[in-house]
Homo-oligomer: A and B are copies of this chain.
C-alpha cells in the first residue's frame, strides 16, 4: 500500500507537524519510518520532547528547511488560528489539519482576511485510541482506516493530491467529502454513539451495587466508549453542534414516542393499546439500522460460522486453546470472549469459514474441550 520511500520523500519534501499529541506524533512516526524529514512543534515543550523521543521527528527550529506540507494536529477549538498562522508563515506549503470537525474550522478561516485558502485542505483520519499523547503514538495508527479529505471549490489540485498522498503513505484509505458531508457523517457514526454511550453510563452513577452486579456484555458494549476524555469531546461536540443536534433531536423524538408507550403500559398494563407497537417499532428500526453497518470485509456476520468453546478461567487455558486451534490447522477469522462477574469459565467465540466449523468442533472435542452446541 505504501509508495517507495524515495517517492514519498519526493512527493512531500520536509513535513512540519504542529501539535505533538497522539495524532501528530503518530503521523510523524509513520513518515519518519519512510525516510521523510519531519519537524515537530508543540506549545508544550514537554509534549514536543516526548514526541521527539519516541521517534516522531526533530524539534522544529527557525533554520529548518521550508516545509512543503504542514500538518496541524491540534484540538478543534484552536485549529483555525494555527492553520492561518502556518498558511502565512509558509506561502509555498500545503496545509492540512486533522481535527474531527471540518465546517466550523473552514468558516473561521474564511472569515479571516488575506489567507490563501487554495492551499488549505481540511482532513480527518478516522483513527484514535483510548489513550492520548505521544506516548500512545504508533506509526500504524492509520493503517486500514478511512481518512476523510474534504473538497470544495477553489482548492488547488496539487494541494488535494498532497493530502491524499499523506493518507495513502500512512496506510489509510482516502475518502473525499465536502466539509458538511463529513460533519453530518461523523455526527451520526461517531458523535451520536459517543453521547448515547455517555448518557447510558451516566444513569449508572447512582445505581445500587446489586444492580451493577447483574451487568452483562450488552451494558459493557454500549458503554465502552463512555470512558472518553471530556475536554476533547466538549470541543468536538460544540464544534459540530448543528449536525449533532439534528441527529440527537431525531433520537429525542423516538424516545418521546417510547416514553408515551411505556406510560400507557405502566398505567393500563402490558397490553395497553399501542404500547407493544411502540416498543416493537423502535426495536425493529434498530434491527434495520444495525444491519446497515458494514462489517469486516463488508459483511462479517454472514460470512463466518461461530464455534463457541468453554475455557476455564485458569492460567494458560486460552493460550492452550489457540495453540491447539493452530495445530488443528483451522484459521481464526475473528474472535471474541464473553464473560461476566464471578465467572469461572469464559466463552471463547471463534469465527471460522463455514467449511471449517465442523472440523474444528470435532477436533476440539476430541482434545477434551467443551464445545457449546451450535
Contact = CB atoms under 8 A, between A and B. Distances in A.
B341 A330 contact: no
Contacts of A249: 259
A285 B198 contact: yes
Interface in A326-369: 326-327, 330-337, 339-347
B204 A290 contact: yes
B251 A200 contact: yes
Interface string A255-283: 11011011111100111100110011011
Instruction: Give the interface size bracket for A toward B.
Output: 35 or more
A360 B234 CA distance: 37
Interface stretch (A43-51, A114-122, A149-157, A224-232): A224-232
Contacts of A208: 181, 185
B196 A289 contact: no
A188 B203 contact: yes
Interface in A179-238: 181, 184-186, 188-190, 192-205, 207-208, 210-216, 218-231, 233-235, 237-238
B332 A319 contact: yes
A162 interface: no
A77 B270 contact: yes
A202 B256 contact: no
A340 B144 CA distance: 7
B146 A213 contact: yes
Contacts of A213: 146, 175, 294
A269 B1 CA distance: 40
Contacts of A265: 237-239, 241
Nearest to A141: B372
Interface stretch (A3-11, A66-74, A88-96, A310-318): A310-318
B298 A341 contact: yes
A113 interface: no
A218 B234 CA distance: 17
Given A238-B279, A276-B238, A322-B322, A286 B223 contact: yes
A334 to B, nearest CB: 6
A331 B318 contact: yes
A168 interface: no
Given A193-B200, A205-B285, A220-B293, 12 more contacts: A126-B216, A186-B214, A189-B214, A201-B287, A201-B290, A201-B293, A238-B276, A241-B265, A248-B259, A252-B255, A296-B346, A318-B332
Interface of A: 1, 54, 76-77, 104, 126, 136-138, 140, 143-146, 148, 171, 173, 175, 177, 181, 184-186, 188-190, 192-205, 207-208, 210-216, 218-231, 233-235, 237-239, 241-242, 244-245, 247-252, 254-256, 258-259, 261-266, 269-272, 275-276, 279-280, 282-296, 298, 308, 310, 313, 315-323, 325-327, 330-337, 339-347, 370, 372-374
